[in-house]
Amino acid sequence: MKTVRLGRSDLESSALGLGCMGMSEFYGDADEAESQAVLDRAAELGITHLDTSDLYGRGANEELVGRFLARHGRDDMLIATKFGILRDPDGPVGSTYDRVLDNSPAHARAACEASLKRLKVEAIDLYYVHRHDPAMAIEEVVGGLADLVREGKIRAIGLSEVSVKTLRRANAEYPIAALQSEYSLFAREVEEDVLPTCRELGITFLAYSPLGRGILGGQIRSVDDLAPDDLRRNAPIFSAAHLPGNLALVDRVRTIANRHGATPGQVALAWLLAQDVVPIAGTKRVRYLEENAGAATLTLDAEDCRALDQALAPGAVGGAGKWSTVPQPAEAR
């Protein structure tokens, strides 16, 4: 699989990343054996970029990735994790209401040390501020992370869901390698200013939820296709008011996919890949991982891209907008 350099760092990422969050919580039951099989197959397919966080499963997701690395080795893998969101250790699993932000250098250091132990690695490749706390100057946050780079505990700094103003200030303090924000045919807000700013500054853009919370995969036709405890049941795009119209949009993508002998999800990912965006496609099933990887060999022509841009133009998606399993500070909305 093609690789891309992350910003001005020396990190090389596979063109497609693997989001590991769902292997631990939020999207229904998970299975350790199948999750490990997904990670093994990802490595075989050349997907070397594994995305996790200390938030997911309150550290359980990092431990899961750590068990994979202990078996596989980490030399050919790029490990990305995040810090900055605290959860009540006694709160319910999957809860979206027990979280506060702590971006302080002291917490960053403690969180980094804990993540290193859970991942069983000596250094984290890409360390993100999961959400920026507007109460703390981004220069102070990044300055603390820069110390961790100099100490060899992390190799590069990433940000998630920040404003252009914050991104510029952060990058002036220390080079930011990557910005991760939601981006898909169903969520195109970043096209206005965030994506152009990343290109201007030489910061690699990584798209989480590149399949529009899964709807662009083409398998979800009803909210009943989601597990009873799947948090996406609360997402506006799946509401009774919006789902029928949104499924009609997925069918427009399917029409293009059919011309290529592909799936709607592969078209959605290929659309991002064509823009030099690194999609972080999450899955806990081998069959979907293999389908996603197929997008790396799908080339969309100009007519395809025009049709997608027109059919799913900003404003076309019902219930579109920021919806997340993690807190959204005011500046990130």
The one catalytic residue among 56, 128, 174, 288: 56
How far apart (Å, rounded) are the C-alpha atoms in residues 300 and 273? 10
Alpha-carbon distance values, 314 to 190, 232, 255 (Å): 11, 21, 20
* Two tokens, residue 282: 């999450």
The letter for the amino acid at 223 is: V
Q: For residues 173 and 139, is the Cβ–Cβ distance under 8 A?
A: yes
Closest CA to 128 of 75, 170, 189: 170
How far apart (Å, rounded) are the C-alpha atoms in residues 18 and 279? 8
Q: For residues 150 and 177, is the Cβ–Cβ distance under 8 A?
A: no
How far apart (Å, rounded) are the C-alpha atoms in residues 226 and 236? 14
Other beta carbons less than 10 A from residue 111's beta carbon: 22
Q: Is 56 a catalytic residue?
A: yes
Return the biggest CA–CA distance within the chain: 54
List the catalytic residues. 56
